[in-house]
Amino acid sequence: MIDDAIRILAGDCTVITENTDREEYRGRVTTLVKPDNTVLVHDIDGYQPVAWITRADSVSSDRTGDFTLVAKKDTQTLRIAAHEQDGFAHYPASAAGTPVGVCPDCDGALVRSSGVNCVGCGDCYGVPTDATIRDEQCDCDCGLPRMRVERGLAFDVCLDRACESLDAAVSQAFDREWQCPESDCDGDLRILRRGGLIAGCERYPDCDTGFAVPTGVVGGKCGCGLPTFETASGTRCLDRTCNRALDGVLEAESETDD
């Protein structure tokens, strides 16, 4: 069963791996079972395990007599039998990442790793991969850090989307700001979430035109009529398949200003 603990078995063990062939080892080893059912058997030599299974389908154990642990994935089986135990324990574990703040609920460290996670209470916040976590705290009572995310504009919002919605901020700025580029469609593009944020035609399902909103800020207008975005890799059209922005057919928004 997957839980939030790392299980450790250390001692004099026989280790048997079975797949297309069978291998057997004997020695004093330390076995780690990670929360995702990855099993690693280490001895004193080098950094590579003696034996392992990545994300096993099942991990079972029997503590009657000699301690045994069996991990299985597809046709692969890993068996560890402890003839003499030096130790067996469960240790709590969490995601490890770059510290970005302090949890307002438990004063534990907030770390960034596949989102932002609290080392103490386990609270988790999903954040875009391109987001920059800021030192400033949210203006409301939640006490969480704020983040900067570029989606057409640079938005400064709370880490907790339930407190301050990035989707709502992008929608307020760009919903129906751009016309559908299809020649036979008079619809505007709505800001919607379909896995990620998209600008999709309001005439759907009659018109299924839609574009993922890229990372970056709006910098001008493409020759096709859609906005261009200034991104880390350069200028691109909202429509990533359009090559007119790359041909330099740009109409800078500043040229339309008085």
**80: CATH:** 2.70.180.20
| Residue 182, in any domain of the structure | no
- DSSP, residue by residue, 58-100: EEEEE-SSSEEEEEEETTEEEEEEEEEEEEEEEEE-----EEE
- Of 72, 92, 112, which residue is a domain's last? 92
So what's the pLDDT on residue 67? 84
Which pLDDT score is estimated for 252? 39
* Successive 10-residue mean pLDDT values, the chain, 258 residues: 78 96 96 95 94 95 82 96 91 90 93 91 91 91 93 95 93 96 94 93 95 94 93 92 62 37
Alpha-carbon radius of gyration of the chain? 27
Residue 49 within a domain: yes
The answer as to whether 192 is a domain residue is no
If asked whether residues 59 and 125 sit together in one domain, one would say no
227 within some domain: yes
Tell me what pLDDT residue 4 has.
Answer: 81
**How many angstroms separate the CA atoms of 103 and 123, rounded?**
8
Looking at residue 208, its pLDDT comes to 95
Number of domains in the chain: 3
Q: Which H or E run contains 5?
A: strand 5-18
Q: What is the pLDDT of residue 65?
A: 67
Distance CA 238, CA 217 (A): 11
Task: Judge whether 189 lies within some domain.
Answer: no
Structural domain includes residue 196? no
Coil vs helix vs strand at 26: strand
Give the residue numbers spanning the domain of 229: 214-258
Scored b (16 or more CB within 10 A) or e, 49-82 reads bbbbbeebeebeeeeeeebbbbbbbeebbbbbbb
